[in-house]
Structure formats: C-alpha cells, structure tokens
C-alpha cells in the first residue's frame, strides 16, 4: 500500500464521484479507479459502493476512512517536522483568529513577529471560534486566538489576557466627554449599531442586556467591526466593542456603563498533542510574552490590578 492509495481513496470519499475526485487529484479517471481497486485488493475488502448514481462508502469504507484521515494528518505532520528549520531561517505559520482580535490585535502582534522572524511565511485567517476549533482538530491550523471557553475536548488553551467590552462613541457624541458611568436607563435610550448574531461579542451583549432587564435600541446591525466603527465615527450612534478597539482609533471614545459590561478571557487555542513547528512555538512564545504588555492591556484590567488609569482611557482623547 502506498500513500498515493490513501490520498486517492480520501478524495473519492470526499467527492463521492470518481470524475470530480480525478479532477481534484489531476489524474485520469481510469488511473484513479485502478488505484482504488489496488487498495481494495490489498485490504481484501470493498471500500466503495459503486452501484448507485453517487459513490457511497461501504461499512468497511466508513470505518477505514477515519483511520486513513488520521494517518494522512500524522504523515503530513511528520513531513513538516523533517523540514522544520529550528533556527527559523524559513518556515510557515498557519494562524486564525476571531474577528474582534483582527480589529486590534493582528497588526501589532504580527508586526513584532515579522520583525523577529522575517523569513517565516504566515497565513492568517479570520473565522468563528467553532470553525477554528474544527480546523485545529483537522490539523489545518497551527494556532488560533479566540476565547478560553472552548467546545472541543481535543483543543487546549493558554490564557493571554482579559478583554473588557465597552460602549464606544464618536467624538461628536453627547457622551464623548462623559466621565460618570451611564446608568442602565441612560444606556437603554441610546441608539445602537451592533454586530449581528454571527459574532460571539453579540451573544455577550445580549446576555448582559437580559441579565439587567435592558431592552436595547438597536438601530442597525452589521456583519463587520470596521462597518460598526465607521458608522459610529460618522454618526450619533453608539456601539459595544472591546475597549482595545476604541483605543486603537483616535476618533472613538469609551463610555463606562454601570454595571460594567462583561469581561472575557482571550487565549491561544492549540490541538492537544499536536506537533508544534518552530514557527508556531516562536509565535506562542511571543504572544505569551506580550500578554502582559501594553499591546494587550484594557482599561478594565488596569482598574482591576490597581494601576493608575489615564483620563484618555476614561473619556475621549482630546
């Protein structure tokens, strides 16, 4: 049995069609069929049911496909290990993060990483946390940045920092210079532009409102943080976002609420027991190193640790 046989079998199992699988593999259909027959002869079992309009896995095929996928993942990890250059003179990093971290974290963190390791090629994807955990388990990612409350038992976390949500307004908003925290009734009267329900941030906001008996005035819903920022910057609408995003934009101001908006723990997500490339280990070390730096600090975390909070974080930058 050759590695080629496993790749060909998995392609047919995925596409459920010899023609499409052959096209994906860039081989002829007769060649593909012959290789699958050889694999079945070697295993002495029929893996595919070819009798219908679409190819189906037999019971034996369904059992075998899980082990074939795992074996291919392990072989790919082994290949990366062989070619891994410990001095980081070359290599690659496969990184994903949720949209909120793309808005304020990706720039400064990867700027430092690229400055230290200029020959490492990084692939950066933005996606929901559930999708990120799935890709980690499929060995399609090296590291994820999301939140500490994972769903997959095969994904482990390393805590980075505590992220605080805040009400964010533009400079022309009536509350832009307000020092006192807004009451719930004042907050309830604010017209809001919020991220839609595809975002974990929105679920935290909805939970806060439900727990405090607040019916928010939602004037707009958007599917991107950049859209929310632009609308708030140019209008009298307010939004709720991580405080760090507002601090990264001089046109935005933070407004406290009472009770305070929820905090959540940002973390690195890693597949348990996975091989860590040198590039991934270097990124993990840098992220943990920076987790105590200004790069990750939030106004709320400064309050909680007793550090002096500058007025520019409590009200709008002047």
Residues 190-228: tens digit of each pLDDT:
999 999 998 889 999 999 999 999 999 999 999 999 999
Residue 104 has pLDDT above 80, yes or no: yes
Given this model, what pLDDT does residue 167 score? 96
CATH number at residue 218: 3.40.190.290
Q: How confident is the model at residue 255 (pLDDT cuts 50, 70, 90)?
A: very high
Given this model, what pLDDT does residue 80 score? 79
Any domain includes 185: yes
Q: Across residues 30-46, what is the average pLDDT?
A: 94
Cα pseudo-dihedral 239, 243, 248, 253, rounded to 10: 60
CATH number at residue 116: 3.40.190.10
Burial class (CB in 10 A: 0-12, 13-18, 19+), 231: middle
pLDDT tens per residue, range 290-307: 886 545 544 334 433 332
Choose one of 83, 118, 143: the last residue of a domain.
Answer: 83
Any domain includes 11: yes
Q: How confident is the model at residue 186 (pLDDT cuts 50, 70, 90)?
A: very high
> Domain check: are 193 and 252 in the same one?
yes
Choose one of 35, 56, 83: the last residue of a domain.
Answer: 83
Given this model, what pLDDT does residue 179 score? 86
What is the value of pTM for the model shown?
0.67
Cα pseudo-dihedral 217, 250, 307, 97, rounded to 10: 70
> Domain check: are 203 and 238 in the same one?
yes
Choose one of 218, 242, 263: the last residue of a domain.
Answer: 263
Given this model, what pLDDT does residue 318 score? 36
8 A C-beta contact, residue 85 and residue 73: no
What's the total number of domains in the chain? 3
Any domain includes 122: yes
pLDDT tens per residue, range 107-124: 889 999 999 999 999 999
> Domain check: are 145 and 274 in the same one?
yes
> Domain check: are 273 and 254 in the same one?
no
Q: How confident is the model at residue 313 (pLDDT cuts 50, 70, 90)?
A: very low
CATH number at residue 65: 1.10.10.10
> Domain check: are 173 and 233 in the same one?
yes
Q: How confident is the model at residue 87 (pLDDT cuts 50, 70, 90)?
A: confident
Query: What range defines the domain where residue 104 resides?
Result: 91-161+265-296
Q: How confident is the model at residue 172 (pLDDT cuts 50, 70, 90)?
A: very high
> Domain check: are 157 and 276 in the same one?
yes
Residue 312 has pLDDT above 60, yes or no: no
């Amino acid at each position: 049995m050759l590695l080629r046989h496993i790749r060909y079998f998995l392609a047919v199992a995925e596409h459920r069609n010899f023609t499409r699988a052959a096209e994906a593999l860039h081989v002829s259909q007769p060649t593909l069929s012959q290789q699958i027959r050889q694999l079945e002869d070697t295993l002495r079992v029929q893996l595919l049911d070819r009798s219908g309009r679409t190819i189906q896995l037999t019971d034996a095929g369904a059992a075998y496909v899980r082990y074939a996928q795992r074996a291919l993942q392990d072989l790919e990890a082994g290949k990366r290990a062989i070619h891994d250059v410990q001095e980081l003179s070359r290599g690659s990093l496969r990184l994903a993060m949720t949209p909120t971290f793309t808005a304020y974290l990706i720039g400064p963190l990867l700027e430092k990483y690229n400055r230290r390791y200029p020959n490492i090629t990084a692939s950066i994807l933005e996606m929901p946390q559930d999708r990120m955990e799935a890709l980690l388990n499929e060995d399609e990612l090296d590291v994820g940045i999301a939140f500490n409350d994972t769903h997959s038992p095969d994904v482990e976390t390393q805590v980075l920092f505590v992220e605080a949500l805040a009400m964010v307004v533009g400079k022309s908003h009536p509350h832009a210079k307000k020092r006192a925290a807004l009451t719930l009734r004042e907050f309830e009267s604010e017209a809001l532009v919020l991220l839609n329900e595809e975002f974990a941030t929105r679920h935290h906001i909805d939970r806060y409102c439900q727990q405090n008996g607040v019916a928010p005035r939602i004037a707009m819903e958007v599917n991107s943080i950049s859209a929310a920022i632009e609308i708030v910057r140019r209008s009298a609408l307010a939004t709720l976002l991580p405080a760090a995003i507002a601090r990264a934009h001089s046109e935005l101001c933070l407004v406290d609420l009472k009770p305070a908006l929820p905090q959540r723990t940002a973390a690195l997500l890693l597949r348990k027991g996975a091989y860590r490339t040198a590039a991934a280990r270097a990124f993990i070390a840098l992220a943990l190193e920076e987790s105590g730096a200004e790069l990750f600090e939030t106004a709320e975390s400064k309050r909680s640790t007793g550090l002096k909070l500058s007025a520019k974080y409590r009200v709008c930058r002047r």
